[in-house]
Structure 1
Amino acid sequence: MVGNFGSTEQILWPVSSISGIFMCKIVYEITGLISREFFKGYHSLSKPTKIEWNNRGFSTFHAILVAAISFYLLVLSDLFKEGTAVGSIVDRKSLLSDCLCGISIGYFLTDLGMILWYFPALGGVEYVLHHVLSMYAIVLSLISGQAQYYILMVLFSEITTPFVNLRWYLDAYGQKSSMLYIFNGVALFLGWLAARILLFIFFFAHMYLHFDKVRTIFPLGFYSILSVPPVIAVMNVYWFLKIFKGMVKTLSRKRHAQ
């Protein structure tokens, strides 16, 4: 299992994870500074709302960062392309993918810490479960050096987070009746459908078609990849239904108001 625990990784993992924590702290503070300067309504928000406002700032930054790098590694680079002579797809990794996983661990640790500290203001049990499962899967992948192709697909699905956060910002800012709120809701629905429903269908189809390679993953990782992604997928479907109902409700209210 510890085939990926070399001298480089012993330095890279803690440095990237600590960098992820500092990234969250810096963006949290910058979000507050920018908001105080450019959003007049920010000053009238309650303290708990300001905390969540700033928290969603580094959540958005992390989502954009990991989605962009995951897209590069999965689509633009040659790391996971079929036919490349670099071994089984479940064993492929790079320093960049290791670094990205470390940064995400730092983010999930920071966000989980805030969720637990202010529980349940920043999220309920489902958010705790999501973060714990995400860190568990990433840590296993880092230590073993396996299944990073699938980890990156899940990290790419974070591309929907900016739409979720913008919806919350507009609600907190009293803009639920604005056209931007409606357009963002439709974009959130479509983005969630693509990144957290259809992409997960591709995820499971790819695992099925490459099951002979998936079976070579070390035992704990093998059984985890058969159990953790389905749990996350069920959560994604649950949230997707809530997003769909919210979008329909908003569009119906807007149509009746015209």
Structure 2
Amino acid sequence: MAVSKHTVMTMKSYQHQAENLLKNHLLADTAVPYTAIITGIVICRLIYDLTQLLSALYFNKCYSGLNRLQRIEWNNRGMSTVHAFFIAAMSLYFVYWSDLYADYQTTGAITFRNSTLSTFTLGVSVGYFIADLAMILWLYPSLGGIEYVVHHSLSGIAVAYAMFSGEGQLYTYMVLISEVTTPEINMRWFLDTVGLKRSPAYLINGIVIFLAWLVARILLFVYMFFHVYLHYDQVIQMHAFGYFLVFVVPSVLAVMNLMWFGKILMGLKKTLTKKK
């Protein structure tokens, strides 16, 4: 059936209005952070519900046997896994592949460089931290103890500052690369919950966690601090609060990472001993 000229013009008019709304309001410089945060929260809710739906359809035998709190944590970990894949991939892109923060660029100090995409990406992550922290506090301590509250609070504040101010986004992305370890941690919980703690998959998962944690949460933090040292003349130009965050937040997270790494190492050693 032929489409009338009036219909085509009406569709183009709606398309033009939608593009203007996106460009002039939702993605305007002043609105990007707020749009991104709301987007992040909405996406978290959608993924939480989608995890619940897919789990009931494809993993019903395991999922139906969980109690209420376990189902909530199951869905929550599905949400955090998707966020981890997203933010880790974007962080790797900005830090290692994008030329936004490259030393050869002459667009000013790297501590002040940002773009609409880098700011929007951080906003989505802030939305996740808000949603996840709200769930942790709501069900405290079922989804995590005080260390999770501290981790999410510090991370959320640091990411939000980098998003709103445009300062220190490079170092924020370096720290966010550490989210690459989250899917493995969540998989370990899933395997344990469904009774596969003694399976080969559980052992392999433990080894992957050890290696990923060593690279992304230990060695990468060393590299970040070394990068700060090399570019200290640019870091010192930041606002006092941003300067404070660059040193304090990664330092606190690094200490927590070392503590957790010790537990991972002991757990892996215990598992390997049992296997022998």
TM-score range, shorter chain: over 0.9
Q: Using the TM superposition, give the Cα deviation of residue 41 of structure 1 relative to its aligned residue in structure 2, in angstroms.
A: 1.2
Return the offset for 1:155. Answer: 1.0
Q: Secondary structure at the match of 2:198?
A: coil
| Secondary structure, counterpart of 2:172 in structure 1 | helix
Q: Please list every run of at least 4 consecutive aligned residues from structure 1 whose deviation after the TM superposition is greater than 4 angstroms.
A: none
RMSD: 1.0
Report deviation, 1:190: 0.2
Per the normalisation by structure 1, the TM-score is 0.94
Q: Tell me if 1:28 matches 2:48.
A: yes
CA distance in 1, matches of 2:136, 2:58: 27
- Deviations 1:219-248 (Å, cap 9, x if unpaired)? 111122221210011001011111111111
- Determine the structure 2 residue equivalent to 1:83: 104
Per the alignment, residue 143 of structure 1 pairs with 164
The code of the aligned residue for 1:9 comes to: D
Q: Name the residue aligned to 2:35.
A: 15
Q: Aligned runs of 1:81-230 on 2, under 5 Å?
A: 81-230=102-251
Q: How many residues align?
A: 249
What is the CA-CA distance between 1:9 and the residue it aligns to? Answer: 3.1
Kept in 1, the 8 Å contact 2:33–2:164? The answer is no
1:6-57 per-position Cα deviation (integer Å, ceiling 9, x unaligned) = x933211111101111111111111111111111111011110000000000
- The counterpart of 1:53, out of the listed 74, 84, 94, is 74
Deviation at 1:77, TM superposition (A): 1.3
Partner of 2:17: none
Aligned residue identity for 2:235: V
**Aligned equivalents of 1:196 and 1:21: distance in 2?**
26
Query: Which residue of the partner structure matches residue 244 of structure 1?
Result: 265
* Amino acid paired to 1:17: I
Q: Kindly state the Cα deviation for residue 167 of structure 1 after the two structures are TM-superposed.
A: 0.2
Q: Deviations over 1:169-228 (max 9, x none)?
A: 000010001111110110000000000000000011111111111100011111222212
Does 2:113 correspond to 1:74? Answer: no
* Residue type at the aligned position of 1:77: S
Q: Which amino acid aligns with 2:118?
A: S
TM-score under structure 2 length normalisation: 0.88
The letter of the residue matching 1:113 is: A
